A and B are shown apart, each in its own frame.
Chain A
Amino acid sequence: MNVLGIEGLDAGYGDLQILTDVDMTVGDGEYVTIVGPNGAGKSTAMKSVLGLTTYMGGSVQLNGEDVAGADTNTVVSKGVSYVPQTENLFSTMTVRENLLMGAYSLDEVPEERLRDVLDRFPILEERQMQRAGTMSGGQQQMLAMGSALMVDPDVLLLDEPSAGLAPDLVADMFDKIDEINDAGTAILMVEQNAKEALRRCDRGYVLVNGENAYEGPGTELLEDQEVRERFLGG
């Protein structure tokens, strides 16, 4: 059974429909990327899993359970965790409090997992009591991801994790994501940096104008002539 299954999804914002009949799956432990031009609906597809868009038709399933159109705050307990592209932190709260908020949907604070996250992102341990808004861009991204991992999700949704990062930090970011995936968490990632994303992922989807255009293993898409010309700059 797929961790995440999207079938025939129509979605948008208010009266504006962005996605038409979109299909996507993420298997257990898979690393899947969504690439495509601006305005293609990549983020919309991701947000639809969280109930942050207007649901217009089709199905969205998490571990077999239908969550299309569900309330946003109920979705996190069904195995999915999300890191938005912007405003992905509680900037007035401390690093530690952000991590605790990551575990909000759980009955108890998972001390072990907190330990794991701090081990994975040592910079966060140093700055536990620091106000999140005063950290640098790279550190904030670490915290955002760490918070999302506090629920030990089956699938982690990342919306353009490299956006706004200094170039030398981008590789580190992708390495971290590889680490997380190797530890067993499925990844669904929207990325503008298509080359890097397709290189590292297991499978990729190319969305154009709110519809499926291409799909396949990352390496294949990377080699495909049409894909290269249209989206990877030849």
Chain B
Amino acid sequence: MAVADFLITLVTFIAIYSLFGIGLNLKFGFTGLIDFGHVAYFMVGAYVTVVLTLPADAPTYGGIGGFDLPGLFAALGPLGSLFGWVLGVLGGMIAAALVSLAVGVPTLRLREDYLAITALGIATILNTVVKDEDWLFNGPYGISGVHKPLVDVFPISLGSFTVNMAVFGLLSVAIFGYVAYWLVNRFRDAGRTGRILMVASVGLVSVWYFVMPVVDGGGTVELTKNVLWLFDPTAGPNGGLDYDRFVLLLSLGFLAGGYHWVERTINSPYGRVLRAIREDEDVPQALGKETFQYKMQALMFGSALAGAAGALWAVNIGFVSPDQFASTITFFAFTAVIIGGTANNKGVILGTAVFWAIRNGTRFIDVPSQYSIQLAAARLILIGVILMVILYYRPEGLLGEQDYDIDLPTSLRGGSDDV
């Protein structure tokens, strides 16, 4: 498998988990809610979307639905099934938000550590329900044959091999160019440690991506494949844009949408109240704000984002099962958010990327299969240690808290003692 394909899968995962993390960041980083049950909404979003878009007579599925929304709308035209899928995703997001509403009612008034534990407990209960109630969503067997939007359209080919290579190749290089431009801008703004980190990481990735394939024996063919990453020469008779790449673009699109939406919220007066609640709930309450409602809304919004991420996850993997949604997923998201920068959406993306790089990067280490458990364990030990180290030496994360358009009044930002 070309390195490009590996990278595409990796970046897709990073995009989906980043969306998950941005939802978590809204709850935790900006509003101060420790939701240890966040993965439950990932699960609800995935399952509900899948069930809403599954064909009515799906084989081996014994649960409620297949409501076949894409099929329903297919009659409206070629984009009808896509519309049906989007409706399914919306359904998943709304379901996730509603579940979080039910969770929030008993838990949001509790103090923060009790909130964390009860949220975790409820998520565990929900997972058990999905796993054990076969009649609901097929129980432990999960649901396979997840509807993939527009899958029949792909691979997209524009005619001949050369045309495909030219067009998609050009697009690939253009995107590389834009990324390079963005990196250079950030380099200019970064401090000394930032610059060193950037040079190191970009350098490593570049060597791994551009140089290694040539050295490893693939020659210029491999290099070309990597450079023209949007173009998959093996997709169909003439090569073209295959489905995996579409899913990547779809995920990135969702991530961009979610990111933009959260950024706008955070930088509005509404977002300012959320941040005030995080600092000291008594203050906005004294000013007459119904803090419970704000917290609930943040909870629902963040959960809806997790639900959207869940829908993408289902499309990416192709099947859903309860084991994919264990509580440790939430903890990994917390790790990513904290590493990258709590209350910093860019930080969430960076942290998720770092986290996944560690998790998947070590897969390249050649180790006899009898030690695979040890390798997996070592990876998690490393992540646990990094988490503690970052919390101590740089608790604000790699990027620190982001800047806002509207700042909190200075009296709320860090208290002052009586003298």
Contacts and interface: CB of A to CB of B under 8 A. Distances in A.
Interface in A1-26: 13, 18
B2 to A, nearest CB: 54
A43 B419 CA distance: 6
Contacts of B418: 43
B216 interface: no
B385 to A, nearest CB: 29
Interface in A191-221: none
A55 B418 CA distance: 17
B417 interface: yes
Contacts of A39: 419
Contacts of B419: 13, 18, 39-44
Nearest to B418: A43
A43 B418 CA distance: 9
Question: Is chain B's binding surface mostly helix, strand, loop or mixed?
Answer: loop
Interface string B376-419: 00000000000000000000000000000000000000000111
A41 B419 CA distance: 5
A18 B419 CA distance: 8
Contacts, number: 10
A13 B416 CA distance: 10
Contacts of A42: 419
Nearest to B417: A13
Nearest to A18: B419
A44 B419 CA distance: 6
Interface in B166-195: none
Interface string B208-231: 000000000000000000000000
Contacts of B417: 13
A105 to B, nearest CB: 27
Nearest to A47: B419
A43 B417 CA distance: 11
Interface string A80-120: 00000000000000000000000000000000000000000
Nearest to A45: B419
B395 to A, nearest CB: 16
A41 B418 CA distance: 9
Interface in A29-88: 39-44
A41 B417 CA distance: 11
Nearest to A39: B419
A42 B419 CA distance: 7
A40 B419 CA distance: 7
A40 B418 CA distance: 10
B413 to A, nearest CB: 15
A48 to B, nearest CB: 11
A44 B416 CA distance: 14
A161 B329 CA distance: 53
B185 to A, nearest CB: 33
Nearest to B416: A16
Nearest to A40: B419
Contacts of A13: 417, 419
B182 to A, nearest CB: 36
Nearest to A14: B417
Contacts of A43: 418-419
A64 B418 CA distance: 30
A141 B240 CA distance: 82
Interface of B: 417-419
Given A41-B419, A43-B419, 8 more contacts: A13-B417, A13-B419, A18-B419, A39-B419, A40-B419, A42-B419, A43-B418, A44-B419
Q: Lowest 6 CB-CB distances: which A-B pairs, in order?
A: A39-B419, A44-B419, A18-B419, A41-B419, A13-B417, A43-B419
6 contacts: A13-B417, A13-B419, A18-B419, A41-B419, A43-B419, A44-B419
